[in-house]
Structure 1
């Protein structure tokens, strides 16, 4: 797994993950990881609540596939999770 090393891709993923949260939630990006056509964005919300958002690159760009308060194991492996 590699980290998002293209600044534009990383910024796009960060913005997309944060748009779901109101400003009062104080959501902050902790990390962005990319593996092939999949990406994981980890957030901290309200100063202590962890939240994960997963994307897959499709024909029209990255699309959110799943999100929640726990990490998705095997997110980077298409043979494990067939989004």
Structure 2
């Protein structure tokens, strides 16, 4: 950027329902792109990404992990969850 140009930061407020609809639309677009192989599918989620994807919190995540219902890979201090675990969660295989 040159010296004469400046950036303007703007905040837009949306009702929660519209924001959630926007996020869901983005997920659907990404899913469609993955289906047509336009982008590489995710193989592993971080623990945080997994929790956001299935809408759970750390307490439930730890409960599933400790009971052996959720497959988790630990590399150092980081936890990774295979992407197939999202489908297993929604099919009710972790109840």
User: What is the TM-score with the length of structure 1 in the denominator?
Assistant: 0.25
Going by fraction, where is helix more abundant, 1 or 2? 2
**Hey, which of these two has a bigger chunk of strand by percent?**
1
Larger RCO, structure (CA 8 Å, separation 6 or more): 2
